[in-house]
Amino acid sequence: MLHLPASKNPSQRYHKSTRICSRNRNRLGVALYLLFFTKPTVSQVTEAFTDPVTGINFQRFFGARTGFSFGIALPENPSTDFIGQISCPIPSGSGWAGIALQDDMEGPLLLAAWPNGDTVVSTFRVAEDEDENPPVVQGEFRAIDIPSGTSVNDTHMTWTFLCQNCVGNGETGFTAQDTAGTVEMGWGLADRAVSNAGDPAAELSFHNVGFGGFDAVLSLARSPLFGEWALLAGVESNGSTTPISVLPPGTFVGGDGGDDDDSGDESDDDD
């Protein structure tokens, strides 16, 4: 299951929650708790990565055990948008992957994606109750595919996208000011097929392959080339004209990450 940030204004939310069986609900609740409230001894930290297909420079988290990765790129002076890339194995062409834009269990935007034939379906969710499938949410945010960086084959899925209005007010995710330092995020990966895969509101299964948290060094994800990369999505996007200072490496912002409040670890046994 995945966990995503959205505005706390009820008028911006569209809820389509589906109850799941008692046994799965219990397992899901435990997994959600572990994902956001356990404290591993070693943090997973993003590193520089250049996508060989698009040429976009990301700060990327990569899980060696699961093969899941998430990369993020930001404008030099961030405002509302970022470019993201989710890549993962999809055995038998099935499964889903997702990220949470904060390390909290309930409230942050969750962004999930899965294959549907040779295309990628994506959705914004928010976990309001750890015992339930996260409902779809609607708002001003949207994800626009970058076709040249998106692919699906028999074994892997890569989805590259421009996330517009996804840099929020601190309630739904990280803020523009948070990009001065490091922010904790979460991830999840499942290899079970998504039923009705063509529907963005489809129910997401338990993330049985892995889940956890990572430290996204957003200060190093900022680039003056962001506007050029955003054009790969067919739209213009760039940062603010107001500079945002860069904090010393390892400075956590947007939460209590400096207190070693990490999410789970991809080595956790989440069955």
Q: Positive or negative, the Cα torsion across 84, 157, 186, 29?
A: positive
Domain boundaries, the chain: 10-239
- C-alpha to C-alpha distance for 3 and 53, rounded to whole angstroms: 29
Of 116, 100, 90, residue with least CA distance to 35: 100
10-239 has CATH 1.10.3720.10 classification = no
Q: What's the residue count for the chain? A: 271
End-to-end Cα separation, the chain, in angstroms? 12
CA dihedral 261, 114, 69, 208 (to 10 degrees): 60
> For 101-134, b where at least 16 C-beta lie within 10 A, e where not — what string?
bbbbbebbbbbbbbbbeeebbbbbbbbeebebbb
Tell me the pLDDT of the chain (271 aa) as tens digits: 444 444 444 344 333 333 434 454 445 444 444 443 344 434 699 999 999 999 999 999 999 999 999 999 999 999 999 999 999 999 888 899 999 998 765 678 899 999 999 999 999 988 776 556 777 888 889 999 999 999 999 899 999 999 999 998 667 789 999 999 999 999 999 998 888 889 998 888 778 898 889 999 999 999 999 999 999 999 989 888 777 777 766 677 765 443 333 333 444 433 3
Alpha-carbon distances of 209 from 40, 43, 91, rounded to whole Å: 18, 19, 11
Contact 34, 211 (CB under 8 A): yes
Contact 83, 232 (CB under 8 A): no
